[in-house]
């Protein structure tokens, strides 16, 4: 028994025993917290360690030592990085390339007015046009990809209580009461407070934000900050994991590889520049004294070296040296970085989930491979449905409905996206030629095949619908009338099927 416990037992003072037990528990808790802190610290700083921490790979390779990278570093890489900028921008640009339409639907999910626009659809379309909503949605999409989230703030023409008051207290009652939409990335939209009420439907979600605004268009003006209530904010986070607040920055998984790519590109360029000048070698012949009245030999040689370096950087072609034999150029070979470059491209493409030819283009500057482009458009179509609509568009519309700025549709609505794939000029020419060839083949069949050809065409009617261009179909209709082979009525029915009246 320890001394303190013996004292407690001998005196019979219960408070000593209680104090000792409390001290033991406190010590255990402190030890446990210390262990937890070390584990958390390891998660933050032990990236890339091997052999029980003896080899610190990330430090050796020059990568950030912490698993989490601060926003400013992501922002700098996005703004200055060529490939990094493309990784952030490409998904957003493609997602919103052709905008989004909101369609009012009935109980079965079908459009209420397939041929036109309902009054609700027209109101939303006008609102989107007035606010340039598609462009704003694309911007908040990009901003969310730089860091863990971005916000879309709804400005109200009737805001009188301050931005920290709920939006519904402004008394807005019309789409025209929405004054503007503005975007702030994570660096300018800090979460100021959280909803800590465990009974609230917004438990563990932001209650207020601290938004930073700039005065002046040069980015150097005076900054002001305002506390903004969550109801004026659409919070946008892509690919969150444990909650809906913090998403995954688009550069996170590719960060190390982008650093490697910069080493390859910048190192190759620097090596090329250095090897153009190469190493210049010269020697002082035995017995030659290069000292001067005011400089030692070492100082003279230092001046010569400085002059030679200046000549290399400034591309001078003439240089004189005193006491040195003729300077000799010692060139060095430049290694071929193409293999490493291609490997890094493939790894970055995988980390960014963007096909390589879409992300980097091709060596000749051609458009992306058709298979890669089809894969990319498929991913973007999925992104439109799984991210853009439920995270940006619908929360915005539902918020306006909730505060009374927009009437609710009678039943419901859905987001519709125009097809991403569009035929380029070469593809259009190919399709046009194929249709013209088909029209010519049918024309030849009419001339040479007679009734047998007509019978074949009759059998193929379902498959031939829509193949021919309207002008080709009309020309063939006239040809059949001129041939007058007794079966023109069959062809008239066929031409009716493809939407062109016969003769």
Nearest Cα to Cα of residue 417 among 183, 99, 127: 99
Residue 349: predicted pLDDT: 84
Q: Which residue shows structure tokens 């249709």?
A: 435
| Three-state DSSP state, 126 | helix
Encode burial over 111-135: b for 16+ CB neighbours within 10 A, e otherwise. Answer: bbeeeebbebbebbeebbeebebbe
Which run of H or E residues covers position 155?
strand 150-156
Contact of 172 with 122, CB cutoff 8 Å? no
Which tokens go with 42?
């390891």
Residue 286: predicted pLDDT: 67
Contact of 480 with 491, CB cutoff 8 Å? yes
Residue 89: predicted pLDDT: 94
Residue 351: predicted pLDDT: 83
Please state, in angstroms and rounded to a whole number, the distance separating the CA atoms of residues 84 and 271. Answer: 23
Please state, in angstroms and rounded to a whole number, the distance separating the CA atoms of residues 416 and 103. Answer: 7
End-to-end CA separation in angstroms for the chain:
116
User: Exposed, middle or buried: residue 446 (CB in 10 Å: 0-12, 13-18, 19+)?
Assistant: buried
| Three-state DSSP state, 329 | strand
CA distances from 282 to 100, 108, 301, 326, 484 (A): 70, 88, 10, 6, 98
Nearest Cα to Cα of residue 373 among 338, 419, 327: 419
Q: For every one of its 503 residues, what pLDDT tens digit does the chain have, with 9 covering 90 and above?
A: 444 444 445 445 555 555 555 555 555 444 444 444 444 444 455 566 655 555 566 666 667 767 778 899 999 999 988 889 999 999 999 999 999 999 999 999 899 998 889 999 999 999 999 999 999 999 999 999 999 999 999 999 988 888 999 999 988 999 999 999 999 999 999 999 999 999 999 999 999 999 998 755 555 666 789 999 999 999 999 999 988 999 999 999 888 888 888 777 776 666 666 666 555 666 666 656 667 667 787 777 777 777 766 666 655 555 556 566 556 655 555 667 777 778 888 888 888 888 888 888 765 445 556 778 888 999 999 999 999 999 999 999 999 999 999 999 999 999 999 988 765 556 556 666 776 777 677 667 666 766 666 555 555 544 554 565 556 656 666 665 565 445 545 555 555 655 554 44
How many other β-carbons are positioned within 10 Å of the β-carbon of residue 94? 20
How many other β-carbons are positioned within 10 Å of the β-carbon of residue 184? 21
| Three-state DSSP state, 411 | coil
Residue 462: predicted pLDDT: 46
Q: What single string gives the DSSP state of each residue in 211-268?
A: EEEESSTTS-S-EEEEEEEGGGEEEE-SS-SSSSS----TTTTTHHHHHHHHHHHHHH
Secondary structure E strands in 342-406: none
CB-based contacts of 96, cutoff 8 Å, min separation 6: 134, 135, 137, 138, 141, 388
Please state, in angstroms and rounded to a whole number, the distance separating the CA atoms of residues 2 and 18. Answer: 15
CA distances from 502 to 113, 437, 449, 450, 498 (A): 32, 21, 20, 18, 10
Residue 259: predicted pLDDT: 82
Please state, in angstroms and rounded to a whole number, the distance separating the CA atoms of residues 363 and 153. Answer: 42
Residue 300: predicted pLDDT: 73
SS (H, E, C) 50-93: ECCCCEEHHHHHCCCCCCCCCHHHHHHHHHHCHHHHHHHHHHHH
| Three-state DSSP state, 369 | coil
Which tokens go with 447?
């001339």
Please state, in angstroms and rounded to a whole number, the distance separating the CA atoms of residues 127 and 174. Answer: 10
Contact of 436 with 472, CB cutoff 8 Å? yes
Condensed to tens digits (0 to 9), the pLDDT of residues 54-88 reads 556 666 666 776 777 889 999 999 998 888 999 99
How many other β-carbons are positioned within 10 Å of the β-carbon of residue 440? 12
Which tokens go with 464?
């031939």
Q: What is the pTM of this model?
A: 0.66
Which tokens go with 77?
């890489």
Please state, in angstroms and rounded to a whole number, the distance separating the CA atoms of residues 206 and 255. Answer: 28
Contact of 105 with 412, CB cutoff 8 Å? yes
Residue 20: predicted pLDDT: 52
Query: Angle 470-483/488-497 helices, nearest 10 degrees?
Result: 170
Q: Which residue shows structure tokens 């933050």?
A: 44
Which run of H or E residues covers position 100?
strand 100-105
Which tokens go with 85?
């900028």
Tell me the Cα Rg of the chain. 36
Contact of 388 with 137, CB cutoff 8 Å? yes
Helices (H) and strands (E) in the chain, counts: 18, 12
User: What are the backbone dihedrals phi and psi of residue 185, each rounded to the nearest 5 degrees, phi first?
Assistant: -80, 180
Residue 31: predicted pLDDT: 46
């Amino acid at each position: 028994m320890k001394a303190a416990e013996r004292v407690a037992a001998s005196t019979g003072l219960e408070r000593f025993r209680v104090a000792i037990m409390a001290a033991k528990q406190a010590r255990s808790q402190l030890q446990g917290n210390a262990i937890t802190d070390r584990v958390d610290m390891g998660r933050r700083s032990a990236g890339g360690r091997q052999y029980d921490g003896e080899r610190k790979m990330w430090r050796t390779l020059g990568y950030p030592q912490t698993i989490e990278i601060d926003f400013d570093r992501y922002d700098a890489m996005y703004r200055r990085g060529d490939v990094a900028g493309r990784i952030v921008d490409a998904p957003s640009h493609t997602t919103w390339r052709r905008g989004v339409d909101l369609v009012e639907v009935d109980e079965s999910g079908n459009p209420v007015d397939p041929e036109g626009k309902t009054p609700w659809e027209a109101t939303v379309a006008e609102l989107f046009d007035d606010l340039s909503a598609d462009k704003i949605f694309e911007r908040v999409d990009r901003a969310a990809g730089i860091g863990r989230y971005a916000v879309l703030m709804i400005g109200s023409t009737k805001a009188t209580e301050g931005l920290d008051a709920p939006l519904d207290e402004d008394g807005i009652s019309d789409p025209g009461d929405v004054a503007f939409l503005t975007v702030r990335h994570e660096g300018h939209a800090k979460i100021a407070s959280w909803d800590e009420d465990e009974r609230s439907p917004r438990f563990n979600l932001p209650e207020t934000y601290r938004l930073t605004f700039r005065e002046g268009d040069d980015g150097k003006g005076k900054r002001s900050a305002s506390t903004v209530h969550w109801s004026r904010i659409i919070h946008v986070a892509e690919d969150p994991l444990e909650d809906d607040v913090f998403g995954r920055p688009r550069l996170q998984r590719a960060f190390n590889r982008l650093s490697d790519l910069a080493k390859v590109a910048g190192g190759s360029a620097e090596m090329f520049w250095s090897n153009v000048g190469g190493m210049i070698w010269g020697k002082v012949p035995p017995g030659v004294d290069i000292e001067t009245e005011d400089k030692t030999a070492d100082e003279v040689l230092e001046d010569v070296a400085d002059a030679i370096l200046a000549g290399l950087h400034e591309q001078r072609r003439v240089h004189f040296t005193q006491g040195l034999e003729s300077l000799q150029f010692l060139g060095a070979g430049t290694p071929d970085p193409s293999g490493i470059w291609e490997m890094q491209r493939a790894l970055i493409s995988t980390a960014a989930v963007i096909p390589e030819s879409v992300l980097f283009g091709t060596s000749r500057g051609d458009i992306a491979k058709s298979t890669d482009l089809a894969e990319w458009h498929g991913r973007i179509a999925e992104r439109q449905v799984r991210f853009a609509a439920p995270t940006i568009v619908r929360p915005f519309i539902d918020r306006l409905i909730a505060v009374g700025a927009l009437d609710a549709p009678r039943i419901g609505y859905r987001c519709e996206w125009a097809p991403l794939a569009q035929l380029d000029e070469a593809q259009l020419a190919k399709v046009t030629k194929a249709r013209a060839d088909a029209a010519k083949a049918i024309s030849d069949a009419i001339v040479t095949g007679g009734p047998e050809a007509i019978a074949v065409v009759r059998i193929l009617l379902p498959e031939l619908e829509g193949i021919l261009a309207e002008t080709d179909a009309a020309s063939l209709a006239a040809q059949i009338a001129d041939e007058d082979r007794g079966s023109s009525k069959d062809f008239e029915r066929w031409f009716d099927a493809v939407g062109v009246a016969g003769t």
